[in-house]
């Protein structure tokens, strides 16, 4: 999934010095792996990161569930169809890790502006300098 997300033929070893296959955590739509990112420049040290990888079937299953929800809503509670559509939109946003990356970056920027980050609040820093983040992969 990570290599597919790169979309340019690079392999895990092209991007990471280390990548732990065994996840350190898992949730409903993704799992997290420890990794060490290759430096972009020779003078940079390698950096430990977390790679959040979406399960391959999640998007398809969510789409099927939401389609069934919309169908049931149209049949049994058509006055609530806008609620069903709003749920679809929200879940589609949750399934796109590029949007999550933008949200993390925006949140960190706001927290820095208010003097909260990094002294009082720590927001994970998105690492996408080499285009590793995708719809299904988030590196932080």
The DSSP result for 82-128, as a single string, is HHHHHHHHHHHHHT-HHHHHHHHHHHHHHHHHTT-TTTT---PPP--
pLDDT at 117: 86
Residue 30 neighbours by CB distance under 10 Å: 21
d(CA 137, CA 140): 10
Which residues in the chain show pLDDT less than 50?
none
> What pLDDT was estimated at residue 5?
72
- Torsions phi, psi for 27 (to 5 deg): -140, -165
pLDDT for 92 equals: 86
pLDDT of residue 94: 87
Residues 115, 26 contacting (CB under 8 angstroms): no
Segment (H or E) for 33: strand 30-37
Contact assessment for residue 36 and residue 46, using Cβ atoms and an 8 Å cutoff: yes
């Amino acid at each position: 999934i990570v290599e597919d997300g790169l979309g340019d033929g690079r392999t895990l070893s092209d991007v990471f010095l280390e990548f732990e296959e065994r996840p350190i955590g898992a949730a409903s739509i993704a799992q997290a792996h420890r990794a060490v990112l290759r430096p972009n420049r020779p003078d940079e040290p390698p950096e430990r990161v977390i790679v959040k990888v979406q399960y391959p079937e999640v998007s398809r299953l969510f789409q099927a569930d939401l389609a069934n929800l919309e169908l049931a809503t149209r049949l049994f509670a058509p006055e609530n169809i806008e609620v069903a559509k709003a749920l679809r939109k929200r879940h589609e946003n949750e399934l796109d890790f590029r949007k999550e990356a933008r949200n993390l970056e925006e949140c960190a920027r706001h927290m820095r502006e208010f003097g909260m980050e990094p002294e009082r609040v720590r927001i994970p820093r998105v690492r996408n300098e080499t285009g590793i983040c995708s719809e299904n992969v988030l590196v932080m």
